[in-house]
Structure 1
């Protein structure tokens, strides 16, 4: 990859994003890239993830934005060190929740790319960038990948540090990525993972903050209730009503879910499921995460692989799920699946 690829990406964004709406804030040429396996890859970063010098507005309902971040999130630092060229921030649904999706579907203007990693999925699908980062708390990486017809990975919970990432529900939050091909996902994931995945204890990892989304946003909700949309404000209020005992019971359920899923995965490469419950939903809607929530709850890695198109237009995808910490092995299985899908459709 050379600087020409960055220039081409910037030209495509300038030509197409007024209609697509995948980006938020400035989109610029970051200059020379570091030498490494991702050298010159144009990269988008979901606006829940810190990029040095840019504000992390997190899709705030009232349009407010904090001061620019003083440092890159750890995952961004790793990708930059490997040569990725960060062009800017991609649109996100409000705080990674179930709000209105502002980005349009890259193939059908009356459809949504899904949420909450809407801008990242749409930008890769539209050929604006080679790869983009996302986050998932329910189905926010895999579901938009299915709707937009692009490969994506949600890494195992705890496998990539969340330092510099806006939390939604820390016991569930995971990072992930979209790329132009499964092979690109493999290359990017090898850099992002960087070390042997860590298996956090689901109770001690949560620490003192409880009720997750409510705890993250409660102080600001009390001080500035108008900062949040009605739906997120209601979720915060509901979360604050959950007792510590019920919260700890939910975390024990999560541990049991992981154990049950991993028992089913012994001796197999992956579990194959639909990646989404439907085709891309109407414009503005995030879509249902029902196909993704059980595996996110268990903290397992997942990969979306485009499988077909309906009427030659709207994509459908399969989801491959593996045991915790088997991210790169799962991606190898996904690469095989992508080849076989192409062969069957040929």
Structure 2
């Protein structure tokens, strides 16, 4: 993988020019992406920018508007070659920070569950995850040092876990979603993927304008180990990764206390699907009414079923979401912990017929809490298995500090 911070150090020292860094990424895409299929389109004429992210080649998930490249939503039958007039706000912010958009990364159709063509760089018969498939694979394969994804259920953290990259799904609305093809407006969250947690922190600070970079010695965190039992059991490799992370953290001086999440969290987890599916039904009304025959089977089937969800059903479950968010405000202080440690995904990447199960991500997306995938652990057959660090809403720097500390421990 390409370390964003290492790249920036080389550029600042004069060892590498920003223009050469962009050319190297474009060359890598040209040489290796034919097989990987991480990119839906590439800007071969992309040039380096100026700023904190100068020389950083950026992949942008193809549900995010770009004026210089098509935005096809993972569904060429409806949006093939469609070109927005303007960049999405997140793309403009990244460019203002100096990043160079070198291409649009493959996504599942409308960021749902119909698999994208992208392969997992670690094993071609396994899924890279979804819906931010191309973004995770592009970083994991060393094509770009930074990529943008989105999460409605688990679509930043889960593919990051399957591909072995670091990722942050920030607090809800920390990054602007203006210019994003909306799935569910109370859930959709932009996220960043990079080689390490420190890379993610640097990029998030540069793009958001908020202080995120990490201290040299953040100190050992206090973790609540939460298995989210209401979401079902993890696979053996997911359980082994979480146990190993907890043991290594304790050995290195962290406090790790196992805590069962209280009832409001279980109630909120159970209603995520109603919130998501009602909002997708509304946000994709035009596609459903006008182009139903062109929708891939899984998103089409979801929309068929979602037509029966009434506004009153949606309004009724939103109360459970509010109660869980209020409970989350008190949870960390009541238990004296800095972050929750939990699964990023049930286990290692499954086969390519699926994008994997988001059941350990749905609650945390609904809460709007900052979540970080910590890479570095592997299954018995050498596939990546991440663990997830979660901090209170608005405490993104706290989540990154705890995750960076844990990443250093698990990689040692």
What is the TM-score when the length of structure 2 is the normalising length?
Answer: 0.77
Q: Structure 1: any 5+ residue segments left out of the alignment?
A: 197-209
Cα distance in 2 between the residues matched to 1:284 and 1:306 = 24
Deviations along 1:253-284, one digit per CA (max 9) or x if unpaired, are 11112222332222321100011101111124
Q: 1:278 aligns with which of 331, 341, 347?
A: 347
Pairwise mapping of residues 28-43 of structure 1 onto structure 2 (< 5 A)? Answer: 28-34=44-50, 36-43=51-58
Which SS does the other structure have where 2:184 is aligned?
coil
- Number of equivalent positions: 330
| 1:138–1:296 Cα contact (<8 Å) kept | yes
Cα distance in 1 between the residues matched to 2:154 and 2:399 = 18
Q: Do residues 93 (structure 1) and 104 (structure 2) align?
A: no
Q: CA deviation at 1:230?
A: 2.4
Q: Do residues 19 (structure 1) and 35 (structure 2) align?
A: yes
| 1:7–1:29 Cα contact (<8 Å) kept | no
| 1:6–1:29 Cα contact (<8 Å) kept | no
Q: Do residues 113 (structure 1) and 182 (structure 2) align?
A: no
1:199 corresponding residue in structure 2: none
Cα distance in 2 between the residues matched to 1:195 and 1:332 = 14
Structure number with the higher helix fraction is 2
Cα distance in 2 between the residues matched to 1:195 and 1:183 = 15
Which SS does the other structure have where 1:62 is aligned?
helix
Q: Do residues 303 (structure 1) and 372 (structure 2) align?
A: yes
Pairwise mapping of residues 78-157 of structure 1 onto structure 2 (< 5 A)? Answer: 78-157=93-172
Q: Aligned Cα RMSD in Å?
A: 1.8
| 2:71–2:81 Cα contact (<8 Å) kept | yes
1:204 corresponding residue in structure 2: none
1:328 corresponding residue in structure 2: 397
Q: Do residues 222 (structure 1) and 289 (structure 2) align?
A: yes
2:201 corresponding residue in structure 1: 186
Q: 2:178 aligns with which of 139, 146, 163?
A: 163
2:304 corresponding residue in structure 1: 237
Cα distance in 2 between the residues matched to 1:251 and 1:215 = 16
The change in CA–CA distance for 1:317 and 1:284 in structure 2 (over 3 A counts) is same
Which SS does the other structure have where 2:372 is aligned?
strand
The change in CA–CA distance for 1:101 and 1:297 in structure 2 (over 3 A counts) is same
2:25 corresponding residue in structure 1: 9
Q: CA deviation at 1:229?
A: 1.6
Cα distance in 2 between the residues matched to 1:164 and 1:191 = 20
- Which has the larger Rg? 2
| 2:22–2:47 Cα contact (<8 Å) kept | no
Q: CA deviation at 1:63?
A: 5.9
Deviations along 1:196-253, one digit per CA (max 9) or x if unpaired, are 9xxxxxxxxxxxxx92100111222122211212221221122221111111122221
Q: CA deviation at 1:66?
A: 5.7
Which SS does the other structure have where 2:324 is aligned?
helix
Q: 2:86 aligns with which of 34, 52, 71?
A: 71
| 1:258–1:300 Cα contact (<8 Å) kept | no
Deviations along 1:112-136, one digit per CA (max 9) or x if unpaired, are 1000000000000000000000000
Deviations along 1:51-71, one digit per CA (max 9) or x if unpaired, are 122221110163632631211
| 2:74–2:116 Cα contact (<8 Å) kept | no
Cα distance in 2 between the residues matched to 1:245 and 1:175 = 28
Deviations along 1:88-111, one digit per CA (max 9) or x if unpaired, are 100000101111231000010111
| 2:73–2:111 Cα contact (<8 Å) kept | yes
What is the TM-score when the length of structure 1 is the normalising length?
Answer: 0.91
Q: 2:191 aligns with which of 173, 176, 179?
A: 176
Moved more, 230-239 or 172-181: 230-239
Q: CA deviation at 1:141?
A: 0.3
| 1:301–1:322 Cα contact (<8 Å) kept | yes
Cα distance in 1 between the residues matched to 2:375 and 2:112 = 25
